[in-house]
Structure 1
Amino acid sequence: MSEKRGLRKFVFGGVLGTLGALFFDPQQGRRRRKELADRAAALFRRTGDRAERAGRGVGARVYGMAQQAQHLKEEPKDFDDVTLARKVESEIFRDADAPKGQVDVNVQDGVVQLRGEVPDQDMLDDLVEKTRRVQGVRDVESLLHLPGTPAPMHE
């Protein structure tokens, strides 16, 4: 055990002596001390810059998460009838196979009327369901009908 301790002291003394010779050398010691001080200052400066950048990144992420949490649910909006009709049209006629020229959309006090002829019952049900999901629609009155069937009348 004492041999290890003696070896450690010897190595430590050798390292300390070498450092002393390097830093207190009359010709190059001043330059080496200055360079060591500059490198240490740069290390601390870079570390501070990195910490500042990381802090800004964390702050930005927290702000973004707060904004997402704040806007999780869209606030209900009151649309006028014309705007609501255009909104419904843009939703239900989005698909390429939607019967754009065969269905009319009218809105009165938030109640949407769908009029026209559609090729099959699935499309009829799909148009009514998509209309119900549009924000601002209070009710849907479907006056849609299939080919060969009479058009339902408005009550």
Structure 2
Amino acid sequence: MAGKKNLLIGAAVGALAMFFFDPVRGRTRRIHIRDKAIRAVNKGIDNSLRYKEDMSNRIYGATEEIKARMERRAVTDHTLELRVRSAFGRVLSHPKSIRVTVDKGNVYLTGPILTREVIPLINCVRKVRGVKSVHERLERHTSPENISELQGRGPEYLI
């Protein structure tokens, strides 16, 4: 059994040697393998740098979020409106159809919306830092037919 195993290993090593040291194409094959190895190393370095930068940004964001929660300073209505718009843009198929008004931390939502998106929208807005209350005066629709603000495709990740 050991003899057959050694024979197979020897055949494989011989085939590789013939493949790489072939006088006609061997040099090209060796260069090709070298280039692939260099590319793999460079790609690994790039990925590790990208990962390092991503983790650094996540840590910075998390510390800033903790600082902001601990300070409890007042948020301007304009800033709160921008935060709300940013947050609900992730849960609605047509975020531009919703109008947001903010008055002293109280958020008022108006405009046409699909019925299935109302609860996710309200839950999302309630979680925004600085929101005291959510008042919705939304026009609920079961389908987007005949409502111009709800026409067209929404963001790809919601479909």
> What TM-score, normalized by structure 1, do the two folds share?
0.46
> What TM-score, normalized by structure 2, do the two folds share?
0.45
Q: Which has the higher contact order (CA 8 A, sep 6+)?
A: 2
Structure showing the higher helix proportion among its residues: 2
